[in-house]
Amino acid sequence: MSSDTTIYQDLRGLSAREVRMAIREGRYDRHTAGLAAGKLQCNLAILPEAHALDFLRFCQRNPKPCPVVGVSDTGDAFMRTLGDDIDIRTDVPRYRVFRDGVFTGEVTNITDLWRDDLVTVALGCSFTFENAFIANDIPVRHIEQDKTVPMYKTNVALTPAGVFAGEMVATMRPIREDRIEDAYRISGRFPHAHGAPIAMGDPADIGIADLNAPDWGDPVAVEDGEIPVYWACGVTPQNVLMNARLPFCITHAPGHMLIADVSETLEDQ
């Protein structure tokens, strides 16, 4: 067993705050699937205030891939509505930096990039309903295999707002045929975490050419008796932000989420 896998297994029993501290201190920089069970995980878009209102309009018009669960004050690096001492500059395993619509690299800390005009928008993540799947004996293969969930560009068009437009990104999880109805019902209880699936079956129906070649994350096998099921994904804003060619913005790296202190049901937000 690799040291990375050992660290991941050790972190699975820790609180959200303890996991964030491991990330903040540089002890962990991998995916967050399966960590801090019961706590909300968040996709991120960090962008200048000048573009934040149009981006929030875009999210309001496209709640399936972009369910807003938190918004920071301008220039404030702390996500005060999502928990105690959540520093957005240090508490995410990996960040992606974009300039003029071009991806310029991944970093594990954005303290040196922080600006007084930045606004952080936190979006719900499908990792939230995965905990409910596991609790109901629906296997989640990428967690079992310590992988990042596979993510794919699709041909599902989104409703534009200002400079923001594009197509949806989707995640895929293989589900046993006899548990498909349960998967729809359980994930449908979490509209703030993308809710029920957008499709199932033939990937070509939503413009995916090859399930073995995800655009982000790791491929996972669809075994006999299983059907590929697709959910809206919070990586969608990364495509949209690139299309908008903003001078500067930051997102989480796919699969590397912010883990909040609030419940995945948002009951204690």
Domain residue ranges in the chain: 3-126+241-263, 128-236
Calculate mean pLDDT across residues 120-125: 95
pLDDT over threshold 90, residue 179:
yes
pLDDT of residue 34: 85
CATH topology of domain 128-236: PSTPO5379-like fold (3.30.2040)
* pLDDT tens-digit readout, 44-69: 999 999 999 999 999 999 999 999 99
* pLDDT tens-digit readout, 144-173: 998 889 999 999 999 999 999 999 999 999
Contact 29, 11 (CB under 8 A): no
Domain 3-126+241-263: homologous superfamily in CATH: PSTPO5379-like (3.40.1640.10)
d(CA 18, CA 115): 27
In the structure, what pLDDT confidence band is assigned to residue 132 with cuts at 50, 70 and 90? Answer: confident
Calculate mean pLDDT across residues 202-216: 96
Which residues on neighbouring strands pair with residue 58, listed in sequence order? none
User: What pTM was computed for the model?
Assistant: 0.88
Helices 3-11 and 16-24: crossing angle, nearest 10°?
Answer: 140
Give me the percent of the chain exceeding a pLDDT of 90. Answer: 80
d(CA 241, CA 102): 10
